[in-house]
Structure 1
């Protein structure tokens, strides 16, 4: 056995020497991804990190082992991963006709040293920190780049990364821990037990092709030894990868001397659109007021002239999907309220509105007050001096200079004197018919299921802030089946019956509500929603929010009285009802980081708090995580111990390059339980109003001139 290990090391050393000797010139090396979905080689991690903000998805398979991993580079040094893995032939004989073992796991990695001329990049990693422990392992990995073509990695691993070729246990034995219900960190195991070395080399042949070789310290004890799901013959792995447009990478590998594996990797850089930016129409030039249209000497007392100004401004803004809610003009100022229905960037909507005003307003009007409106309520007042607009359009650093000169003030609820409303806005009826996909994830028998169908939506606006909305779905393909295992919840089944709602609601009334959103004071917003609030609950929801436009924080409160809906999601209700609500605090940090703390009562009657942390980029991509702890004991909560998950929002404008406000949202929960469940009501106030507050406008201001 010892001789075979030395032979493997000699063979691996030959691969390293060959790669170091052959280094043709070419593009700079980019960090690659391993089978486990983290930055690494083939099946081993490395000391590299992805570019800050990178969101990656890796699907890998060899023999009976399959993994799907989502990884987010939270900061330049810190990354987190959620993984869903499977091992075929795990249960022999099968249990409940299931022979495949499915497992969920979370990872965290932190780079303690960044690579320099003489120092390698060094990363400490924790794998499967709160799961079942089947995938649990810890490591320290160091990676050094030689030239611009070769990277060499060496490291030490514990847990499953220390299960082959161990050289000792410097920090004591690794205790056996019963993971129980899962969901809790097993800190007592970290960096304990046998430690083993691993190493690898990556050679980037050119900007498309790269080859890899590694010596693995993962003995696959549970899979290859205890369960005999495959034959692990050697610790050496080899692979070749092909890069497509720096976003997609495909790999083919020889693993452990007995299996051929493959991986498909998608890595998105939120700071760089795959389309290279928006391909919508460009902005109009700023019109010098010396060329502005003359409206005579007494235009501000002539309602016909004011109406013509509104209509001409609207004609310009229509191509960008901007609708004028109202306009008030006097000799030196224009107060314009707008609704942005198309552009995905708030400063861009402000900038294009200012350009339109420069083309229409009389020369004496120097102060542009642009008030964005959402759901019928004004959000803030963006004040722009016309002289600044004219002077800075082609100036170096124009975006920063304009950002420093613009004022963001509270917006009054009432219209200014003499305001003219937009033409034909209220009442208004809109409807749409579109396809939908509904997914069910992580059921042990069928981990991915989906329904396909059509969704009919409708909205009727009675007046600003007062509207009725609804949606009805009809399945065309029913792929979601009843859950493999019956719920053993000890709480009211407010969420654990989701599979019954999935299978019995066809057709279904998703929502049918009457909504009133108002602004009782310049810094206070309110919402009342009545009806079928979501597919499982209906009732009454009320909310109030305090938000100053120039502050990074806000405070809100919500209270709801709801009753559980029938499984068919038509008009009936079940017997269960509850009063639920929260007090919420919001804070926007520099760099796009946002925190939210909700404290209160949840749908199952439990009391507790939810902490959410998100990172949002200027283009609207948002990645975050949340965790909820309540007074429900872990044993009563069930598998997972407490509610937690990852959520991702991808604006379609980022992917398509076309201006649109549509967003694709995904929430990944290891398991859906009843504890910590919150009402899923639409039009919550903070998400409605914050895009046009100073903190968010500053973060995205780079597109003001576009």
Structure 2
């Protein structure tokens, strides 16, 4: 079964263009090796990119073509995944794969043990091809030290990079088992090959990179520890010399071109696209309305005489706030509503304050915005009117203003209601969607471009119906003929049938109700067609105390498998599924750990561990792994469910503000074990504005 790399977005071109137009300093990123990640050619260095850096590298050195995607979520952590095409080895029988070459999937990890100082080098420890087939598995320790324009590295490698094996394993002193590296492979690909880590003979590697006086040009020379006598599928390669030499030309801040001579006989060509997502501030918001002009408000005007319907329209059109109620509490004005436009909550609150300033007299000192999401009161944010005016007029700095901002749990208080808006019933959106499958036996890339019509109809603020209608526009999934073997109920491996049975599908047809059960307790129930493969009913509760870095929730669902046409038909399989989940913010830096335990769609029980880094601009980089009571043999190829993902706010891509994000998920293999229900709404996401840290990180947006 192919890996799925899925992305749903308003438009594909702004996403691709946005990654290359971020305002960053790409030239500070280390050059990438043939295997991706900071390195020379075939070997890594101890260098790390700045946190938030992402890079895509493609390189070809016969018979291998490699496609690498590298992430730098933390200053000391580099991770990535890779596809290696072995050009002289077929994927499988011609009837299944045609003339497609074999594709090997790999996951890499590199940790920096300590940073370079005046006297000591930077040191890193890493593992290549952590699981799977292990065709290119290798472990290493490497040190790097800079001497002016020269950056020198020296390391020790085991496995593929150290296959010359001319140095005894230094770990022999710990145990005799380190002397020999097992050559067998796990019973099922996808397992972490821990039984081979740092085993067997080792080899030295190292080299130099030289930053020439001409800034775009970097020269690199490398000595590698691979003698190419132990290549995958016994396809050993002649090597005239272990020294590789070449150059990198940095075309601009985001594009590197590479050329090298490797093994003393084979040319290498490569290129790298890279950018720093954490530093991106997005393009100018040319499609946003300008902030409201400052007007002279009447010195004193009874609030009952204010045209609140007009104010509500201005709050929606300029501040993105869909107002449901306006009330007065003494010298405090409280506006209750849902933010619909601005990704950064502070920006919407600042716009709202400017609108209110132009309509209210001096008898109001505080503005409070009570943020709601799908009828749920989430957070009260209060700003002092005079201090905000001083901030806008540059008479008060941001840190001084920050101390006057309050965020609290919404609680019932005595108030005078000034305005109650008629609820908006209908929300609808037409967009393009894109689904892509990588690395399968039928073809390396299978894709689908479709039109999506998304509609929500609210009966009350807390009760609404959601529907999705997808129309296929362009795809090559007709080539998708592979039925993966499965020893479990087929809860996900019928993906081919769901993608190819109908050109018009209805992924979602769902009724949802929410309720606040206490000051920090939320509840939700839902029923209908909950996702493309399952329909049914369920509920969720979430306890998320205000101002805390943790939350805990639970969901329970009874679902039945849908028909392949994704209409109102069902198949016979049904299951009860649900999880208890703990959310823990480990920051700073803002690292979110999610631990879930429960029953999955195939009836298996287990735990999902999800760790992600969230940057202040909303970019998220993360990875997850699911371990259940299903054995690796029963799970099938892949051994357990795992994936790497990245989420990029559309606000960093488009010329207009937007609340949603483009989400990219890479799963090495899609199997039936560890599969969770893809619910459209989760209470943790709906209550995201309770993340007061994110609000404070972006408080500077309040004047935009």
State the TM-score, normalized to the length of structure 2.
0.89
The structure, 1 or 2, with the larger RCO (C-alpha pairs under 8 Å, 6+ apart) is: 2
CA distance in 2, matches of 1:284, 1:224: 61
Q: 2:570 aligns with which of 557, 573, 594?
A: 573
2:527 corresponding residue in structure 1 = 530
2:8 corresponding residue in structure 1 = none
3-state SS of the aligned residue for 1:315?
helix
CA distance in 2, matches of 1:396, 1:204: 46
Give the 3 Å change call, closer, same or farther, for CA 658–143 of structure 1 in structure 2. Answer: farther
The number of residue pairs the alignment matches comes to 668
2:161 corresponding residue in structure 1 = 161
- What RMSD, in angstroms, separates the aligned Cα atoms of the two structures? 2.7
- Structure 1: where are the runs of 5+ without partners? 1-26
CA distance in 2, matches of 1:441, 1:582: 30
Given that residues 313 and 357 in structure 1 are in contact (C-alpha distance below 8 angstroms), is that contact kept between their aligned partners in structure 2? no
2:216 corresponding residue in structure 1 = 208
1:144 corresponding residue in structure 2 = 145
CA distance in 2, matches of 1:252, 1:504: 46
- Deviations, residues 185-223 of structure 1 (Å, cap 9, x unaligned): 323322222222222222223332322222222233344
- Deviations, residues 557-580 of structure 1 (Å, cap 9, x unaligned): 111111100111122100011111
The Cα shift of 1:183 comes to 2.9
1:684-699 aligned at under 5 Å gives the runs 684-699=682-697
Is residue 589 from structure 1 mapped to residue 586 from structure 2 by the alignment? yes
Given that residues 338 and 372 in structure 2 are in contact (C-alpha distance below 8 angstroms), is that contact kept between their aligned partners in structure 1? yes
Given that residues 96 and 482 in structure 2 are in contact (C-alpha distance below 8 angstroms), is that contact kept between their aligned partners in structure 1? no
Give the 3 Å change call, closer, same or farther, for CA 199–657 of structure 1 in structure 2. Answer: farther
CA distance in 2, matches of 1:274, 1:292: 34
CA distance in 2, matches of 1:212, 1:703: 43
3-state SS of the aligned residue for 1:262?
strand
1:211-610 aligned at under 5 Å gives the runs 211-223=219-231, 226-228=234-236, 231-273=238-280, 275=282, 284=291, 291-296=296-301, 299-300=302-303, 302=304, 305-306=305-306, 308-312=307-311, 314-315=313-314, 318-329=317-328, 331-393=330-392, 398-412=397-411, 417-422=416-421, 424-426=422-424, 428-481=425-478, 483=480, 485-590=482-587, 591-610=589-608
Given that residues 51 and 75 in structure 2 are in contact (C-alpha distance below 8 angstroms), is that contact kept between their aligned partners in structure 1? yes
Given that residues 600 and 675 in structure 2 are in contact (C-alpha distance below 8 angstroms), is that contact kept between their aligned partners in structure 1? yes
Given that residues 329 and 415 in structure 2 are in contact (C-alpha distance below 8 angstroms), is that contact kept between their aligned partners in structure 1? no
The Cα shift of 1:248 comes to 2.5
Give the 3 Å change call, closer, same or farther, for CA 487–534 of structure 1 in structure 2. Answer: same
- Deviations, residues 214-250 of structure 1 (Å, cap 9, x unaligned): 222223334489225x554432323222324422222
The Cα shift of 1:453 comes to 2.3
Given that residues 588 and 695 in structure 1 are in contact (C-alpha distance below 8 angstroms), is that contact kept between their aligned partners in structure 2? no
The Cα shift of 1:384 comes to 1.7
Given that residues 163 and 217 in structure 1 are in contact (C-alpha distance below 8 angstroms), is that contact kept between their aligned partners in structure 2? yes
CA distance in 1, matches of 2:653, 2:250: 19
3-state SS of the aligned residue for 1:203?
strand
Given that residues 346 and 698 in structure 2 are in contact (C-alpha distance below 8 angstroms), is that contact kept between their aligned partners in structure 1? yes
Give the 3 Å change call, closer, same or farther, for CA 226–425 of structure 1 in structure 2. Answer: same
Given that residues 286 and 390 in structure 1 are in contact (C-alpha distance below 8 angstroms), is that contact kept between their aligned partners in structure 2? no
The Cα shift of 1:418 comes to 1.6
Given that residues 155 and 205 in structure 2 are in contact (C-alpha distance below 8 angstroms), is that contact kept between their aligned partners in structure 1? yes
3-state SS of the aligned residue for 2:417?
coil
2:191 corresponding residue in structure 1 = 184
CA distance in 1, matches of 2:91, 2:375: 61
- Structure 2: where are the runs of 5+ without partners? 1-25, 173-178
Is residue 82 from structure 1 mapped to residue 87 from structure 2 by the alignment? no
CA distance in 1, matches of 2:134, 2:690: 45
3-state SS of the aligned residue for 1:389?
helix
- Deviations, residues 388-424 of structure 1 (Å, cap 9, x unaligned): 32344456883333333222111248995424123x5
CA distance in 2, matches of 1:377, 1:169: 60
Is residue 617 from structure 1 mapped to residue 625 from structure 2 by the alignment? no
3-state SS of the aligned residue for 2:74?
coil
State the TM-score, normalized to the length of structure 1.
0.88
